[in-house]
Structure formats: structure tokens, C-alpha cells
Amino acid sequence: MHCPGRPTERTTVHDAPRTEELARRAVAGDSAALDELLVAIRPEVVRRCGHFLPCREDAEEAAQDALLQVARKIGTFEGRSRFSTWLYTVVANCSRQKYRELKRRSAEQPAVIDDSQHVDPRTTSVIAGSRLLLLDALDRLEQEHPHLVAPLVYRDLCQLEYAEVAERVGVPLGTVKSRLHEARRRVQAYFGDASA
């Protein structure tokens, strides 16, 4: 599926210590700090959502959902890990939820294909197709082996360090590596099933 205007920003949260400080103040109830935090993280949230969702509009909707979750649930950030670790979890969950919603909507209301809007397969993004296959594979993995999803999402999609993944999942590092290996193996098998 080709969608023009896919997020290409390479903006990251430039001042990580400042972001961490804003997060701590927001947790303590400082609403001005929360507002500043949301503005500071928005470009990174949109970019991260774009890792999951190939269409810019979908990524921006997921980013809005993620920012809303941050605003609503900032009090659940305990500060045991970095704020960015907690944030990427929120982003991953909101992106996957948006994908499920889009998939469900598509199944309920199949789109009428207008020949004038037919997508030329030569211009369809291979990356976009791969991301959609990955989201399908994650859904299947979650149904069949839910304990394998979080390590894969945190390490391969959110690009967190192994130690951060272990901390986030709450299992030893060796267990994380074992689950990650198994998750990757199963996802590759699902990709094989999809291309058969």
C-alpha cells in the first residue's frame, strides 16, 4: 500500500536529560512540565509510529493516541527505567492498536477499488508491505505465544538495549535472549507462510 507523505523526520528528542527531567516533574504533577514534555517528544513519537505504520496519516493518528496516553498515564511512569523506554512501550502499543483498528475496519467495510486510484505495484513500497506483514506476524505471535511479543517489540522495533528489555519485561537477560530468539524464529516462519 503506497501512501504519500510517509514520515521522514529524523528528529529525535535532542535533550534526553531535559526530557527525563520534564518527565519526573510531570509525574510529580507539574502540568507545565507535562505540556513541555509532550511538545518535545512529539516528533520522535511520530517517527517511531512511522516505524510501524507506513502511511503518514495513520502514523500521526497513532502518535496522537500515544501522546494522549502519555498525558493520561504519566503517573504510572515509576522512573525505574528511562522515560524513553516507557515512552517506546506506549508508542509500540498505540501503533499496534491503530493497525488492528485499521485492519478490522478494512475487513468490515471493504473498499471499492476505483481504477483511477489503483496502485501501481512498481511504486508500492516494499518497506510498507514488510511492515504490514510484520504487524500481522506480531498479531499471530500474540495469539499463539504472547510472552514472546514484548521482547521482540522492545528489542527489534523499539531498538532498546537487551538490559532495558530485561528490565521492562521483568525477566533475566538470558530469558530475554532466549525469548527473542524464539520470537524471531516464529516470525520468520510466519513470513514464510504469508509468501506461500
In 3D, which of 158, 175, 157 has the Cα closest to residue 166?
175
Q: Cell numbers for 18, please give them.
A: 531535559
Report yes or no: 27 and 21 within 8 Å, Cβ to Cβ: no
In 3D, which of 194, 88, 55 has the Cα closest to residue 133?
194
User: Cβ contacts of residue 163 below 8 Å, gap of 6+?
Assistant: 173
Higher pLDDT, 109 or 139: 139
pLDDT of residue 110: 55
Q: Residue 185: count other Cβ atoms within 10 Å of its Cβ.
A: 11
Is residue 125 classed as helix, strand or coil in its secondary structure?
coil
Burial group, residue 78, by CB count within 10 angstroms (0-12, 13-18, 19+): exposed
pLDDT of residue 118: 41
Query: Mean per-residue pLDDT for 3-8?
Result: 40
**pTM listed for this prediction:** 0.65
Q: Cell numbers for 54, please give them.
A: 507506513
In 3D, which of 50, 21, 51 has the Cα closest to residue 36?
21
Residue-wise pLDDT for 128-186, tens only, equals 456 667 778 888 888 899 899 888 888 887 777 899 889 888 999 999 999 999 999 99
Residue-wise pLDDT for 38-91, tens only, equals 999 999 999 988 888 878 888 899 999 999 999 999 999 988 778 988 898 899
